[in-house]
């Protein structure tokens, strides 16, 4: 799963980092990958990605970091009994959600 999330990070400029171990992973949403500058707080990127994923029938968790004021992280935590097919489905749905999110921030495109 981590390798698949890292591949998504290469595709989408707004994914700054993938972190975690095993099936407890997260990715950071950023305006600039090199400086790790956060996306504007008003964008509520963490909430928007979760909403878009939910519309794809994928449940994700998110939070704002940096004292709850800025910085967006999305957690990807499938069940421990997930199969390869389940991972494939998760990544497919997440990709669709991220593509839709990219459309809402036209200056940051995959």
What pLDDT sits at residue 63? 82
The percentage of residues in the chain with a pLDDT greater than 70, rounded to a whole number, is 91
So what's the pLDDT on residue 93? 99
Q: What is the mean pLDDT of residues 77-103?
A: 97
pLDDT score for 110:
42
Chain segment 58-89, per-residue pLDDT in tens? 999 998 776 656 679 999 999 999 999 999 99
Write the CB contacts of 109 (distance below 8 Å, at least 6 apart in sequence).
Answer: 13, 102
- What domains, with CATH codes, occur in the chain? 2-104 (3.90.1150.10)
Q: Kindly report the average pLDDT of the chain as a whole number.
A: 91
């Amino acid at each position: 799963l981590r390798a698949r999330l890292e591949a998504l990070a290469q595709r989408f400029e707004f994914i700054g980092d993938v972190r975690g171990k095993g099936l407890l992973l997260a990715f950071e949403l950023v305006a600039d990958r090199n400086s790790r500058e956060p996306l504007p707080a008003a964008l509520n990127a963490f909430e928007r990605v979760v909403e878009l994923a939910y519309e794809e029938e994928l449940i994700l968790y998110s939070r704002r970091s940096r004292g709850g004021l800025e910085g967006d992280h999305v957690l990807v935590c499938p069940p421990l009994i997930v199969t390869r097919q389940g991972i494939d489905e998760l990544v497919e749905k997440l990709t669709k959600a991220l593509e839709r999110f990219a459309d809402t921030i036209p200056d940051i495109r995959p």
